Amino acid sequence: MHTVSEAFSLALALILTGGSDLYQIVGLSLQVSLGATLVACALGLPLGALVAIARFRGRNLLLIVMNALMGLPPVVVGLLVYLHLSRSGPLGFLGLLYTPTAMVIAQTILITPIIAALSRQVLEDLHGEYAEQFRSLCLRPAQVMGALLWDGRHALLTVGLAGFGRAVAEVGAVMIVGGNIDHLTRVMTTAIALETSKGDLPLALALGLVLLGLALVINGAVQALRPVAQRPLHV
């Protein structure tokens, strides 16, 4: 059993040397979370733009549902994905359970509502400010959505970063559908849980420090992009 000071010293040594498969675990974490973020943005940004400009019966109910889904319990998402991808499930023939692809699917389901809801708010504010200009140009809804997505890209990038931050810190869903298999589906959060239970505090601390560093980088990027995102919209 290491003392706290010894554990921190060994953790820093692991980060500097990349020992104990540290970099492999970090690399897989980034691969899975970036993949999920890209897919979630491809789904969530157009959905957010559509809801931002559309006015239809039941829109308020849809907004309530979108906002509620931002708080999806990860273990519930993991369970639902597991049931669908297990051998007896409807998608079991794909053989995706306990693979990085299953982890990407689970994280995508978790962060798509976050990206859709946050982007809807950003784009609705832009649309409210320039709605008359859009009408004067007789733009079709698809053109309006395209203009909003392009000119709001800096603000939407911060939305994507928020989604990535949520994905990379997730543990419950990826543990269920990935299985925490060494050299295959073991990511930073699941490895921290496992190594802590085993008493391997140096590796758990090293991964925790890397995860904390990623969180700081993401928040720094959001703060740096915020002034750029305030520039006027051009149509």
* H or E element in which residue 170 lies: none
What the block records as the tokens of 68 is: 């509620």
The pLDDT, as a whole number, for residue 235 is 46
- CA 109 to CA 114: how far, in whole Å? 10
CB-CB neighbours of 179 under 10 Å: 17
What the block records as the tokens of 48 is: 């957010």
Interior angle at CA 71, CA 166 and CA 66, nearest 5? 105
CB-CB neighbours of 24 under 10 Å: 13
Residue 187 has phi, psi (to 5 degrees) of -110, 180
The pLDDT, as a whole number, for residue 36 is 96
* pLDDT in single tens digits along all 235 residues of the chain: 456 777 777 777 777 876 657 888 889 999 999 999 999 999 999 999 999 888 888 888 989 999 899 988 999 999 999 999 999 889 999 999 999 999 999 999 999 999 999 999 989 888 878 777 777 787 788 888 888 888 888 889 889 988 998 999 889 899 999 999 988 999 999 988 888 888 778 888 888 888 888 888 887 877 776 665 555 544 4
Place of tokens 């000071």: 5
What the block records as the tokens of 231 is: 């520039």
Residue type, 79: L
The pLDDT, as a whole number, for residue 142 is 86
What the block records as the tokens of 115 is: 């990206």
